[in-house]
Amino acid sequence: MPLAEFGLIDRYFRGIGPALDSTVLGVGDDCAVLRLPADQLLLVTTDTLVENIHFLAGSDPESLGHKSLAVNLSDLAAMGAAPKWATLALTLPDVNEPWLAAFARGFSALAERYRVQLVGGDITQGPLSICVQALGTAAAERILYRSSAGLDERIYVTGTIGDAGLALKYLKDSEQHCPKTLRDRLDRPEPRIEASRSIGGLASACIDISDGFAADLGHLLKASNVGATVDWNLIPLSPHVRRYVDQSNDFSLPLCAGDDYELCFTVPAQREEELIRQVQSLPFPCQRVGKIDRRPGLRFENLAPGLDLLLKGYEHFS
């Protein structure tokens, strides 16, 4: 396969991220060889981005390099894992070297920031698609499952939600200008690795918000066999989304739009004070939005009455 030449791999994908001591062998043989510390478990996740499905044709390759790794690191963050390694399977319609260089730049900058080493992958020819696998480690007691939320625990959300959804809405509407800060939230999500570190040992359950706040909290509730009440007035919104909701009354956008990659987690009441201390130094907010209760499903307080019904129709809501 001409695309999978060692030349391309050497030029763009060898040496991405730090050379970790725990990597016995990275790019170059039939497999990577990785060493796990004796007391750590391996956590593995994979996510694929397909052109015209997960991103618009002609998207900026540097942003795609960033995002394809970021969405995987977000899954590791949601489970409380420290990111270590990644693999990258690229399907490309042709060899476009400027595209590859920009893609590798975006991927590499994020990999350096979170000390993730690219240890292998594949290049094939076909419709543009990017499949990344991320591997991380965690001590068993630090792993954050989505199934371990308990009654009366507090529900928290990092950052703000709805920004990526609003950016996508503006980008699809040629009449609307999409501000750069908003667009970056869609194109360059920041995996909440530091937040995951801060809440480790305190949070009881966690999920990352990729399908939308309501849907993903719904997954967590279902897995934990509990319900929740969320206060609309506590939902953290950026000024852009706040203005959009005020003008349009479209409450569902921040609650249902995906791609935010914030964390939603629960914490027992008696650990809440310590949690607040821990997250204080983070460069983004961590906001309590509601409480776990016994009745299955997700309920909202302080939300326009019509919307509650609309949300009930939402597949993940019961």
Greatest alpha-carbon pair distance for the chain in Å reads 60
Provide the minimum distance between the beta carbon of 278 and ligand ADP in the complex, in angstroms, as a whole number. 36
Cβ nearer to ligand ADP, comparing 132 with 215: 132
Site string for ligand ADP, 204-233 (x = CB under 6 A): ------------------------------
Query: Exposure of 276 by Cβ count < 10 A (0-12 exposed, 13-18 middle, 19+ buried)?
Result: middle
Instruction: Indicate the helix (H) or strand (E) that contains 287.
Output: strand 286-293
Task: Give the CA distances from residue 243 to residues 47, 72, 147, 239, 240, in Å, rounded to whole numbers and listed in that order.
Answer: 32, 31, 35, 6, 5
DSSP 147: T
- Residues in 76-95 at the binding interface with ligand ADP, rule: CB under 6 A: 88, 90
61's contact among Mg ion, ligand ADP, none, with CB below 5 to 8 A by partner kind, is: none
Report the residue closest to Mg ion, judged by CB: 30
30: contact with Mg ion by CB under 5 A: yes
Give the residue, chosen from 2, 7, 19, 29, that forms a contact with ligand ADP under the rule CB under 6 A. Answer: 29
Between CA 248 and CA 253, with CA 251 as vertex, the angle to 5 degrees is: 90
Among 122, 194, 293, 308, binds ligand ADP (CB under 6 A): 122
The answer to whether residue 121 forms part of the interface with ligand ADP (CB under 6 A) is: yes
Structure tokens at 170: 């503006």
DSSP 8-state code for residue 315: G
Contact track, ligand ADP, 39-78, x by CB under 6 A: ----------------------------------------
User: CB-wise, 28 or 306, nearer to Mg ion?
Assistant: 28
Residues touching ligand ADP, count (CB under 6 A): 14
Sign of the C-alpha dihedral computed for residues 48, 238, 60 and 257 taken in this order: positive
Strand ordering across the sheet containing 154-158: 205-208, 263-267, 154-158, 286-293, 227-231, 297-301
85/43 Cα distance (integer angstroms): 10
The item of ligand ADP, Mg ion, none sharing an interface with residue 4, based on CB under 5 to 8 Å by kind, is: ligand ADP
Residues 17, 27, 55, 298: which binds ligand ADP (CB under 6 A)? Answer: 27
First to last CA, the chain: 49
Stretch that binds Mg ion, among 30-38, 203-211, 263-271, 308-316 (CB under 5 A): 30-38
Of 77, 79, 123, 257, the residue at the interface with ligand ADP (CB under 6 A) is 123
Question: Of Mg ion, ligand ADP, none, which one does residue 94 interact with (CB within 5 to 8 Å by kind)?
Answer: none
CA 136 to CA 41: how far, in whole Å? 8
**Which 4-23 residues touch ligand ADP, going by CB under 6 A?**
4, 9, 13
Q: Give the amino acid at 161.
A: I
- The residues that bridge with 267 in the sheet, in sequence order, are 154
Return d(Cα 284, Cα 110) in angstroms, integer: 18
Instruction: Please identify, using beta-carbon distances, which residue of 90 and 205 lies nearer to ligand ADP.
Output: 90
The listed partner (Mg ion, ligand ADP, none) that binds 93, CB under 5 to 8 Å by sort, is none
Residue 170 binding target from Mg ion, ligand ADP, none, CB below 5 to 8 Å by type? none
Binding site for ligand ADP (CB under 6 A): 4, 9, 13, 27-30, 88, 90, 118, 120-123
